[in-house]
C-alpha cells in the first residue's frame, strides 16, 4: 500500500514536470510573435543577431524598459560602485568626464568625451591630465555643472570608509592624498589640493604620483560624474544620485528596486559623442527576483532585460539551446574575462618552471571548457588576454589547440626536466559554491593523474576566497595550495584594465584580498611600469602583449577559457546590441519595441 | 491565569535575549575560534580592491575591534534607546528599537523589517486560512470515509503536497497560471502596491495556494489520524447512543478533541511563517522577511541577520504563548497545573 502511494506521487510529479516543460515551450511561442515590424535581417530573430550590429534598430521613444536582477549590486552611487552592470546603467543617469561610446561591437570600446569637451591632455610625462568641461550641462535641478562638482565627486570617492565599494585607482594614483582621507572631514578639500585643481569653472586638472598614459580610462569611471556638494549625503546618496544624464531617479528602495524617469534638464545638444539614445520613457529595475523566474519572464515577454548581463541560468541555457526558435533569441556574448588556474610559485614543487610546464602540457583543455558548459561557455584560451581586449594578440606557446586533451609525452618530458619523473602531489583551490570551478578542479585532477601529478581539490567559500584563503599568501602556502582556480574580468578592455591587477607581483599583499594569486616575475613588473609611462597607444598595447607572453613563457598560469555568456533577447526589445566594452546589452542605447 | 501569563511573558523575553546572544556569538565567536581577526571579518564589507589600511578602517568603523561584550552591549542599547550612526557628512539618530545599520548597504535595518512585515503577514495569514480550512476539512472527510476511493485519492494528493517542495510547485504554478494562462500575478509583484483588497488578493493567490498546498497536506493527514482515533473513543459512542445527530457528534465532540494537536502545530507553523516564508518568498520574489533573511545570510550582514532572527523568534514565541493561553481556555487542567 505504502509503495503504491509513493508510486502514485512519483507519477504525479513526473506528469507535473512534463507539463512544466510543455508550458515553457508554449510561453515562448506566444512571446515569439510580439516583435517589431521593421524589415530586413536586422529585425529577424536569429542567434547572435545583436552581437556586432544593432538588432531591430529604432529611434522611436516611449515605453517602459523592465529590468530585474537576482540580488542588488553594490550601489547606485556613481562614486561607490564596481559592478559591470552598474557602470553600464549609470550612463543613463550621470555623465562622467569620458564614457565608453554606446555602439555595437568593437566601436563600443572607444572612450569618447562626455562631460569633458575632449579627451584629456597629458603633460609632465603623463603625470598631469587636464580636461575642459562642457558648458550648459545641468543637474536635474537646473543648476549648471562646474569643474568643482567633478573635483568634489572624485574627492568623495576617495573616502573608502563611507563609500567602500568603488575601485581604488584614484586613491592609488592621485598625488599626495592623505591616508584615510575623508571629504566629510575636510570641507575645504585641502587634502586633495595637490591632486586636483580647478583653475576655472570649466577646467579640471589631475596630478598623479606616477606617470599613467591611460588616464582617459580613469576619467570614464563613474566616480568622475559630478556630485553637487550640497546634495551629497554620504552613504545615503545612492538612494537618489543627482542626475546629469537623460534619466533621473523617480524612486529607489534598496530592497526592492528603482525607477528612472526622463530628466527634463538633460540637453542632448550637450551630448554629441556618447551615442546615448535614451529611448524608453521609463526604466524600472526590480531587485531580488528569483533567477529561474527572471528567465521565465524574459521568455514570456513580461520582462525585457536581466540587468546582470552574465547570462541565463544553467537549466535555462540547456532549454534555449535545444529549441531552434528559442536559440534564435539568444546572443552568445564573449567577455574580456579569463577563467584560469594560477600556479602558486611559493608552493613546492611549483616554484620550478618545468613542473609548471608539466601541468600545462598534461591538462585537458576541452575538459576545462566542458566545465563551463562547452563552447557556449567560452573558447579555449591559449594565453591570458582575451581577444576582446584592445591590442590583444592570440598565441599558443604550448600547443593547446593542437592537443586539446593534453600532451602526455611532453608533460612527462617536463616532469623529467623538473627532476620528478614520477610526478608529484599538490592541492587545487576552488570556490565551493561555484559548481563550474569544482568541475574544473575535478577535470584537472583527472587529466593530471595521467602523468602522476596527484591533485587534491579543496573548496573554499566564495566570500572569503581571496581575503582569507586562496588570496592570502601565508594561508595558501601553509595549506599547500599549489593551484588556484580563478576568474578575472577586465575593468575595461585594455591591457592595463585586464592584466595589471593579476600579474603585477607588487599588488600581492600579505594581508590577503589579492587578485594576483601567485605570479611573481620581476620582468613582468618592469614591463608593467614601462606600459604605464608609454603614451603611444600602439606601443603600449605591444608592451601588454609582451607581459602576456612573459607570463606564459614562465608557465605561471594555466589559461582555461575566454568566457562567454548566453543572453536571452526578448522580442520586446528594440535597438538592442552588445557593446565590446560592456559585454552585455548596452543600456544606454536599448529601447522598447513600439507597436 | 494572570500569574501564568506573567510567567510566560518573562520566559519569552529571556528566550529572545538568549536568541540574540547565540546569534551574535555564532557570528563573531566561530570565526574568532577559527583564527580570524577583526580585519578578516571586516574584509567582507569592503570593495574588491580594498587595501589593508581600508580594511582596518572598516573594522574600526563597524566596531569589530572592540571587545565582543561591548559590541553586544551596543546592540542591546540600540534596541532600547537607539543609537547614533555616522553616514558620512553627519550623524543621525536611529530611534529605538534600533537593530543597527546594514554592514553593506549602510541602511537602517528596522525600517526594512517594518516595510517587509506586511508582505510576510499577508502571505502567512492568507495561506494559513486556506490550509486550515482545506486541510482540516479534507482530514475530516477522509476520516469519515475511511478506506473509500475518496479517502485514498485525497490522501494521495496530500502525500504529493507534503512531498513536493515549494520551489518546484511554486515555479510550476507560476509557469502555468501566470506566464501560461495569465490568470494570476507574475512573480515579483508586491501585493502591498495593490490599489485595493481585491488586487492584493489577486497578487497573493498563487503564493497562498502553493504554500497552503504544502501545509494543508500535512494538516489533512494529521486531522485524519486524530479523527480516526477520536471517533473510536467511548465518549463518541456515548454521544451517538444519546441520539445526537451525526453532525453534532463529529463537529462538537470528535473534531473538538482532535483539534488540540492541530492547534499546537498551527501555532508553531504560523509563528515560523511570520518570521519569513523563505522558500515561498524567494520563489515568488516577494519582498518579505524571508527574502530579506536570504539576502542577509548570503552577504554575512549581521545586523540584518540579527533583525530577522529576532523578529522570527518573537513571532514563534508569541504564537506559542497564544497557543498556550488557548490551551488554558480549552483545557482547564492546564490552568491548574
Q: Beta strand A64-68 with A305-306: parallel, antiparallel or unpaired? A: parallel
The pLDDT value given to residue A25: 33
| CA distance, residue B255 to nearest chain A CA (Å) | 26
CB of A160 within 8 A of CB of B42? no
| CA distance, residue B43 to nearest chain A CA (Å) | 7
Residues A432 and A436: their CA atoms lie apart, in Å, by 9
The pLDDT value given to residue A7: 34
Which residues on neighbouring strands pair with residue A563, listed in sequence order? Answer: A378
The pLDDT value given to residue B335: 58
Chain segment B253-303, per-residue pLDDT in tens = 778 777 888 888 888 888 888 877 888 888 888 889 998 898 888 888 888
Of A75, A235, A296, the CB nearest to B175: A296
φ, ψ of residue B68 in degrees (nearest 5): -60, -40
B107 contacts chain A (CB < 8 A)? yes
Residues A86 and A166: their CA atoms lie apart, in Å, by 11
B203 contacts chain A (CB < 8 A)? no
CA-nearest residue to A27 within chain B is B180
Residues B137 and B126: their CA atoms lie apart, in Å, by 17
Chain B residues lying within 8 Å of A299, measured CB to CB: 179
Taking CB atoms and an 8 Å limit, are B187 and A293 in contact across chains? yes
Helix axes B2-33, B68-81, angle to 10 degrees: 140
Kindly provide the ipTM of the predicted complex, given to two decimals. 0.77
| CA distance, residue B233 to nearest chain A CA (Å) | 26
Of A24, A179, A296, the CB nearest to B53: A179
CA A303 to chain centre: 23
CB of A590 within 8 A of CB of A573? yes
**Rounded alpha-carbon distances, angstroms, from residue A412 to A2, A423, A448, A587, B299:** 58, 8, 11, 50, 45
Burial of A323 (0-12, 13-18, 19+ CB in 10 A): middle
Nearest in space to B151 (alpha carbons), one of B101, B223, B259: B223
| CA distance, residue B11 to nearest chain A CA (Å) | 34
Of B163, B172, B285, the CB nearest to A289: B285
Residue B35 backbone zone (phi > 0: left; psi -120 to 50: alpha; other: beta):
left
Helix (H) or strand (E) holding B92: strand B91-94
Q: In a 3-state reduction of DSSP, which class is residue B331?
A: coil
pLDDT < 70: residue spans in chain A:
1-43, 463, 595
Taking CB atoms and an 8 Å limit, are A161 and B40 in contact across chains? no
Reply yes or no on whether the pLDDT at B316 is more than 60. Answer: yes
Taking CB atoms and an 8 Å limit, are A82 and B47 in contact across chains? yes
Q: In a 3-state reduction of DSSP, which class is residue B315?
A: helix
**Rounded alpha-carbon distances, angstroms, from residue A324 to A313, A573, B191:** 18, 19, 37
Chain segment B96-137, per-residue pLDDT in tens = 888 888 887 778 889 889 988 999 999 999 999 999 999 888
CA-nearest residue to A11 within chain B is B160
The pLDDT value given to residue B330: 63
Nearest in space to A222 (alpha carbons), one of A91, A362, A376: A91
B11 contacts chain A (CB < 8 A)? no
The pLDDT value given to residue A140: 96
Q: In a 3-state reduction of DSSP, which class is residue A188?
A: coil
Residues A261 and A93: their CA atoms lie apart, in Å, by 9
CB of B103 within 8 A of CB of B303? yes
CB of A376 within 8 A of CB of A327? no
Q: In a 3-state reduction of DSSP, which class is residue A200?
A: strand
The pLDDT value given to residue A197: 96
User: Which of A4, A296, A504 is the best residue to mutate to test the B interface, defined by the most B CB atoms within 10 Å of its own CB?
Assistant: A296
B181 contacts chain A (CB < 8 A)? no
Nearest in space to B233 (alpha carbons), one of B249, B213, B211: B249
Of B50, B53, B112, the CB nearest to A255: B112
What does the H/E/C string look like for A398-467? Answer: CCCCCCCCCCHHHHHHHHHHCCCCCCCEEEEEEECCCHHHHHHHHHHHHHHHCCCCEEEEEEECHHHHHH
| CA distance, residue B12 to nearest chain A CA (Å) | 30
Max intra-chain CA distance, chain B: 85
All domains in chain B, ordered by first residue: 2-109 (no CATH), 110-335 (1.10.3720.10)
| CA distance, residue A187 to nearest chain B CA (Å) | 9
CA-nearest residue to A289 within chain B is B285
Burial of A264 (0-12, 13-18, 19+ CB in 10 A): exposed
The pLDDT value given to residue A245: 97
pLDDT band at B29 (very low <50, low <70, confident <90, very high): confident
Chain segment B137-177, per-residue pLDDT in tens = 888 888 888 878 888 888 888 888 778 888 888 888 888 88
Average pLDDT over chain B reads: 83
Reply yes or no on whether the pLDDT at B94 is more than 90. Answer: no
Of residues B58 and A186, more confidence is placed in A186
φ, ψ of residue A110 in degrees (nearest 5): -75, 130
CB of A590 within 8 A of CB of A276? no
| CA distance, residue A184 to nearest chain B CA (Å) | 5
Residues A386 and A375: their CA atoms lie apart, in Å, by 15
The pLDDT value given to residue A566: 92
Residues A24 and A13: their CA atoms lie apart, in Å, by 17
Give the number of A-B residue pairs with CB atoms closer than 8 Å: 175
Residues A584 and A593: their CA atoms lie apart, in Å, by 19
Of A13, A161, A468, the CB nearest to B164: A13
Amino acid at each position: 500500500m505504502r509503495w503504491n502511494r509513493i508510486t502514485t506521487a512519483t507519477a504525479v510529479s513526473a506528469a507535473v514536470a512534463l507539463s512544466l516543460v510543455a508550458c515553457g515551450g508554449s510561453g515562448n511561442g506566444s512571446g515569439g510573435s510580439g516583435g517589431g515590424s521593421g524589415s530586413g535581417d536586422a529585425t529577424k530573430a536569429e542567434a547572435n543577431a545583436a552581437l556586432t550590429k544593432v538588432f531591430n534598430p529604432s529611434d522611436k521613444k516611449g515605453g517602459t524598459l523592465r529590468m530585474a536582477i537576482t540580488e542588488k549590486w553594490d550601489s547606485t552611487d556613481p562614486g561607490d560602485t564596481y559592478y559591470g552592470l552598474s557602470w553600464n546603467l549609470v550612463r543613463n543617469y550621470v555623465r562622467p568626464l569620458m564614457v565608453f561610446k554606446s555602439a555595437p561591437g568593437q566601436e563600443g570600446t572607444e572612450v569618447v568625451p562626455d562631460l569633458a569637451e575632449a579627451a584629456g591632455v597629458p603633460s609632465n610625462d603623463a603625470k598631469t591630465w587636464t580636461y575642459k568641461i562642457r558648458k550648459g550641462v545641468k543637474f536635474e535641478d537646473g543648476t549648471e555643472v562646474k569643474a568643482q562638482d567633478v573635483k568634489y565627486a572624485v574627492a568623495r570617492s576617495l573616502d573608502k570608509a563611507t563609500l567602500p565599494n568603488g575601485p581604488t585607482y584614484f586613491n592609488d594614483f592621485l598625488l599626495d592624498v592623505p591616508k584615510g582621507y575623508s571629504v566629510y572631514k575636510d570641507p575645504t578639500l585641502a587634502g586633495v589640493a595637490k591632486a586636483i585643481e580647478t583653475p576655472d569653472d570649466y577646467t579640471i586638472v589631475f596630478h598623479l604620483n606616477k606617470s599613467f598614459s591611460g588616464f582617459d580610462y580613469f576619467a570614464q569611471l563613474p566616480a568622475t560624474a559630478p556630485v553637487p556638494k550640497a546634495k551629497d549625503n554620504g552613504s545615503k546618496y545612492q538612494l537618489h544620485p543627482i542626475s546629469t544624464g537623460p534619466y533621473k531617479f523617480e524612486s529607489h528602495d534598496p530592497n526592492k528596486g528603482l525607477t528612472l524617469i526622463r530628466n527634463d534638464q538633460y540637453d542632448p545638444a550637450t551630448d554629441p559623442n556618447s551615442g546615448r539614445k535614451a529611448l524608453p520613457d521609463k526604466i524600472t529595475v526590480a531587485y531580488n527576483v528569483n533567477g529561474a523566474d527572471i528567465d521565465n519572464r524574459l521568455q514570456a515577454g513580461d520582462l525585457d532585460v536581466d540587468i546582470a548581463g552574465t547570462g541565463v541560468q544553467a537549466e535555462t541555457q540547456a532549454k534555449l539551446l535545444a529549441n531552434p526558435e528559442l536559440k534564435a533569441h539568444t546572443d552568445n556574448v564573449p567577455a574580456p574575462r579569463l577563467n584560469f588556474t594560477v600556479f602558486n610559485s611559493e608552493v613546492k614543487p611549483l616554484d620550478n618552471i618545468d613542473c609548471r610546464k608539466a601541468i600545462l602540457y598534461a591538462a585537458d583543455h576541452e575538459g576545462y571548457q566542458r566545465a563551463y558548459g562547452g563552447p557556449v561557455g567560452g573558447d579555449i584560451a591559449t594565453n591570458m588576454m582575451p581577444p576582446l581586449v584592445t591590442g590583444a594578440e592570440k598565441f599558443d606557446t604550448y600547443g593547446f589547440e593542437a592537443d586539446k586533451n593534453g600532451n602526455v609525452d611532453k608533460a612527462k618530458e617536463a616532469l623529467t626536466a623538473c627532476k620528478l619523473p614520477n610526478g608529484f602531489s599538490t592541492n587545487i583551490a576552488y570556490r565551493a559554491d561555484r559548481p563550474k570551478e569544482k568541475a574544473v578542479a575535478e577535470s584537472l585532477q583527472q587529466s593530471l593523474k595521467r602523468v602522476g601529478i596527484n591533485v587534491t581539490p579543496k573548496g573554499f567559500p566564495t566570500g572569503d576566497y581571496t581575503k582569507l584563503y586562496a588570496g592570502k599568501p601565508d594561508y595558501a602556502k601553509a595549506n599547500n595550495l599549489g593551484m588556484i582556480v580563478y576568474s578575472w574580468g577586465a575593468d575595461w578592455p585594455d591591457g592595463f584594465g585586464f592584466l595589471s591587477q593579476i600579474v603585477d607581483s607588487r599588488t600581492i599583499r600579505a594581508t590577503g584580498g589579492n587578485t594576483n594569486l601567485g605570479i611573481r616575475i620581476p620582468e613582468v613588473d618592469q614591463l608593467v611600469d614601462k606600459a604605464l609611462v608609454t603614451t603611444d597607444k600602439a606601443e603600449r598595447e605591444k608592451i601588454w602583449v609582451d607581459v602576456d607572453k612573459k607570463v606564459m613563457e614562465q608557465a605561471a598560469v594555466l589559461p582555461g577559457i575566454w568566457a562567454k555568456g548566453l543572453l536571452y533577447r526578448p522580442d520586446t526589445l528594440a535597438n538592442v546590441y552588445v557593446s565590446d566594452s560592456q559585454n552585455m546589452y548596452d543600456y544606454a542605447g536599448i529601447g522598447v519595441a513600439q507597436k | 491565569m494572570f500569574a501564568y501569563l506573567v510567567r510566560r511573558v518573562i520566559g519569552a523575553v529571556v528566550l529572545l535575549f538568549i536568541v540574540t546572544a547565540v546569534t551574535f556569538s555564532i557570528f563573531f565567536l566561530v570565526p574568532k575560534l577559527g583564527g580570524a581577526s577583526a580585519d578578516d571579518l571586516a574584509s567582507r564589507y569592503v570593495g574588491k580592491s580594498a587595501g589593508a589600511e581600508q580594511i582596518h578602517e572598516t573594522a574600526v568603523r563597524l566596531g569589530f575591534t572592540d571587545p565582543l561584550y561591548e559590541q553586544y552591549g551596543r546592540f542591546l542599547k540600540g534596541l532600547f534607546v537607539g543609537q547614533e550612526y555616522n553616514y558620512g557628512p553627519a550623524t543621525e539618530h536611529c530611534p529605538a528599537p534600533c537593530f543597527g545599520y546594514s554592514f553593506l548597504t549602510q541602511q537602517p535595518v528596522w525600517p526594512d523589517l517594518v516595510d517587509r512585515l506586511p508582505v510576510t503577514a499577508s502571505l502567512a495569514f492568507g495561506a494559513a486560512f486556506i490550509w486550515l480550512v482545506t486541510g482540516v476539512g479534507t482530514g475530516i472527510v477522509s476520516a469519515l470515509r475511511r478506506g473509500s476511493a475518496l479517502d485514498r485519492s485525497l490522501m494521495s494528493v496530500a502525500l504529493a503536497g507534503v512531498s513536493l517542495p515549494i520551489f518546484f510547485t511554486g515555479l510550476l504554478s507560476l509557469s502555468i497560471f501566470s506566464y501560461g494562462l495569465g490568470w494570476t500575478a507574475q512573480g515579483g509583484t508586491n501585493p502591498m502596491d495593490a490599489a485595493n483588497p481585491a488586487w492584493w488578493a489577486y497578487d497573493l493567490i498563487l503564493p497562498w495556494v502553493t504554500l497552503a498546498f504544502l501545509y494543508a497536506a500535512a494538516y489533512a493527514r494529521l486531522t485524519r489520524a486524530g479523527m480516526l482515533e477520536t471517533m473510536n473513543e467511548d465518549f463518541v459512542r456515548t454521544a451517538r447512543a444519546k441520539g445526537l445527530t451525526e453532525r453534532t457528534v463529529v463537529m462538537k465532540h470528535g473534531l473538538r478533541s482532535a483539534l488540540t494537536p492541530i492547534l499546537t502545530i498551527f501555532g508553531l507553523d504560523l509563528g515560523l511563517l511570520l518570521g519569513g516564508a523563505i522558500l515561498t518568498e524567494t520563489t515568488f520574489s516577494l519582498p518579505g522577511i524571508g527574502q530579506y533573511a536570504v539576502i542577509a545570510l548570503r552577504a554575512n550582514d549581521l545586523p540584518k541577520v540579527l533583525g530577522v532572527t529576532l523578529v522570527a523568534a518573537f513571532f514563534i514565541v508569541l504564537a506559542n504563548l497564544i497557543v498556550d493561553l488557548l490551551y488554558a481556555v480549552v483545557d482547564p487542567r492546564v490552568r491548574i497545573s
